[in-house]
């Protein structure tokens, strides 16, 4: 089987993890956690707090922003559900927004929603129908692409909204143009969230981090993630904290992965280019481009299927490819249509639906070989053509 996305442990992972175990530092104390934070801080030019998952990073960001029961948060409908659930954890309500052709949240639709569905009193943006305050936007940088942060930050400034960047899929992606030239995903809004889950560009098994440009904010997140201990010896707690700190064993693996991050990004870029070349002119679909003038980590590759040529259910193609030994996956079901969120507001969802019915993600591990990519494309041609000829 050529897998969709598997971790790559070609570096010092085993050495550092054994070292952590050998030293007996396996929980949330230990030098690797601070080292991982230092490496992330240096890489992103921001303050980084290591935690247990991308989900916990998003939870703490929203909690620290004071988002609470009765508030609304604008979120993408085309994303993994973990980007949205933390809104519910803090008692607030998500409002589902469409994507643009980058698959990231569409700033023009956000703007339109704020203008037509809300009223701004100079301090608060109030959703007219429900009377609830819209407090923040969660931006997901989908598959390593970058959302249109200039427009999003302008809207946030205009309506006094906080911005949390879910950069879980985009570690290392950065703008090469405009106002945010040189800025890495997750360092533009109030907070950024990273994930180091097994399929991400680097992994710690499970893990994540919060990024912030503001040292005090980052330190407060660290305090919250370690049970809000005001005095570590006498158990004094002045706030309600979480047990969300990354462990030393996870961080040991993470430090080794950070050493390889740029190499992984380079391989992801090269492999993306190979797919582009092999699929040029294919009539059954095309590889979705990343935004121009950015350095993307190209974490995931998306084939947009031509539904006129290939009208069968996407599952058919995925199953046929699987029988041929190629693991692919569909893009997510829209979150606004999932059972827990069906009663929430979804605003003019068009492109998200279009892409969710057309995209399959292709094998993209950093250790995939050129031969395996060629094999994948050959099998895709076979499976997608067979289905086409069946019609
Ligand atoms: C967009 C997005 N947000 C959040 C998460 C959650 O990260 P984690 O699995 O580390 O909790 C993921 C990935 O799993 C993701 O893809």
Residue ranges per structural domain of the chain: 13-258, 261-390
pLDDT, tens only, 191-214: 999 999 999 999 999 999 999 999
Mean pLDDT of 120-147: 98
Q: What's phi and psi for 89, nearest 5 deg? A: -55, -35
pLDDT, tens only, 66-102: 999 999 999 999 999 999 999 999 999 999 999 999 9
CA 293 to ligand 1 centroid distance, Å: 25
Q: Which of 57, 61, 79, 83 to mutate to test the pocket of ligand 1 (most atoms within 8 A of CB)?
A: 83
Residue 200 falls in the annotated catalytic set: yes
Q: What percentage of the chain reaches a pLDDT higher than 70?
A: 99
Residues in contact with ligand 1 (CB, 6 Å cut-off): 53-55, 79-80, 82-83, 140, 166, 168-169, 195, 197, 208
**Is 204 within 8 Å of 37 (Cβ atoms)?**
no
Mean pLDDT of 49-65: 98
Res 388 pLDDT > 70? no
Mean pLDDT of 161-181: 98
Atom in ligand 1 nearest the alpha carbon of residue 83: 3
CA 330 to ligand 1 centroid distance, Å: 16
Atom in ligand 1 nearest the alpha carbon of residue 196: 10
Q: What pLDDT shows up at residue 390? A: 53
pLDDT, tens only, 122-135: 999 999 999 999 99
Q: How confident is the model at residue 30 (pLDDT cuts 50, 70, 90)?
A: very high
Query: Phi/psi zone of residue 25: left (φ > 0), alpha (ψ -120 to 50 degrees), beta?
Result: beta
CA 232 to ligand 1 centroid distance, Å: 31
> Whose CA is closest to atom 7 on ligand 1?
54
Res 148 pLDDT > 80? yes
| Residue of higher predicted confidence among 110 and 386 | 110
Atom in ligand 1 nearest the alpha carbon of residue 169: 16
Q: What's phi and psi for 107, nearest 5 deg? A: -65, -30
CA 195 to ligand 1 centroid distance, Å: 6
Res 363 pLDDT > 90? yes
What whole-number distance in Å separates Cα of residue 343 and Cα of residue 365? 37
* Catalytic, out of 133, 200, 222, 268: 200
pLDDT, tens only, 234-265: 999 999 999 999 999 999 999 999 999 999 99
> Whose CA is closest to atom 8 on ligand 1?
54
Q: What pLDDT shows up at residue 232? A: 78
Tell whether domain 13-258 is in CATH 3.40.50.10330: no
Res 325 pLDDT > 80? yes
Chain centroid, CA 113 distance in Å: 23
Return the exposure string of 77-103: e unless at least 16 CB atoms fall within 10 Å of the residue's CB, then b: bbbbebbbbbbeebebbbbbbbbbebb
**Is 105 within 8 Å of 42 (Cβ atoms)?**
no
Atom in ligand 1 nearest the alpha carbon of residue 195: 10
261-390: same fold as 13-258? no
CATH number for 261-390 (one of 3.90.1490.10, 3.90.180.10, 3.90.1150.10, 3.40.920.10): it is: 3.90.1150.10
> Whose CA is closest to atom 3 on ligand 1?
83
Res 273 pLDDT > 80? yes
């Amino acid at each position: 089987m050529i897998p969709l996305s598997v971790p790559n442990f070609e570096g010092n992972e085993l050495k550092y993890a054994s070292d952590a175990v050998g030293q007996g530092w396996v929980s949330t104390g230990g030098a690797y956690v601070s080292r991982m934070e230092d490496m992330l801080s240096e890489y992103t030019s921001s303050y980084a707090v290591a935690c247990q998952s991308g989900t916990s990073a998003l939870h703490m960001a929203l909690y620290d922003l004071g988002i609470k029961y009765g508030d609304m948060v604008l979120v993408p409908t085309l994303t993994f559900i973990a980007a949205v659930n933390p809104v519910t954890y803090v008692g607030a309500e998500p409002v589902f927004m469409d994507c643009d052709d980058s698959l990231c949240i569409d700033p023009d639709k956000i703007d339109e929603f704020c203008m037509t569905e809300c009223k701004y009193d100079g301090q608060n943006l109030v959703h007219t129908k429900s009377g609830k305050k819209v407090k923040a936007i969660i931006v997901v940088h989908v598959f390593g692409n970058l959302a249109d942060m200039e427009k999003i930050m302008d809207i946030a400034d205009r309506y006094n909204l906080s911005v949390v960047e879910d950069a879980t899929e985009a570690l290392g992606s950065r703008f090469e143009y405009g106002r945010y030239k040189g800025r890495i995903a997750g360092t533009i809004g109030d907070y950024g969230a990273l994930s180091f889950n097994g399929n991400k560009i680097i992994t710690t098994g499970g893990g994540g981090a919060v990024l912030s440009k503001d040292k005090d904010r980052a330190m407060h997140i660290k305090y919250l993630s370690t049970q809000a201990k005001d005095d570590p010896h006498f158990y004094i707690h002045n706030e309600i904290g979480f047990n969300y700190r990354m462990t030393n064993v996870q961080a040991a693996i993470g430090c080794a992965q950070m050493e390889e991050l740029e190499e992984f990004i380079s391989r992801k870029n090269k492999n993306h280019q190979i797919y582009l070349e092999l699929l040029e002119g294919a009539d059954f679909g095309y590889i979705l481009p990343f935004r121009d003038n950015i350095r993307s980590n190209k974490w995931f590759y998306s084939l947009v299927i031509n539904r006129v040529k290939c009208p069968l259910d996407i599952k058919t193609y995925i199953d046929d490819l699987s029988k041929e030994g190629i693991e692919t996956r569909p893009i997510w079901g829209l979150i606004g249509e999932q059972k827990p969120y069906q009663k929430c507001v979804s605003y003019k969802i068009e492109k998200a639906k279009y892409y969710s019915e057309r995209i399959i993600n292709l094998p993209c591990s950093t250790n995939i070989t050129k031969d395996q990519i060629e094999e994948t494309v050959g099998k895709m041609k076979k499976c997608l053509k067979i289905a086409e000829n069946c019609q």
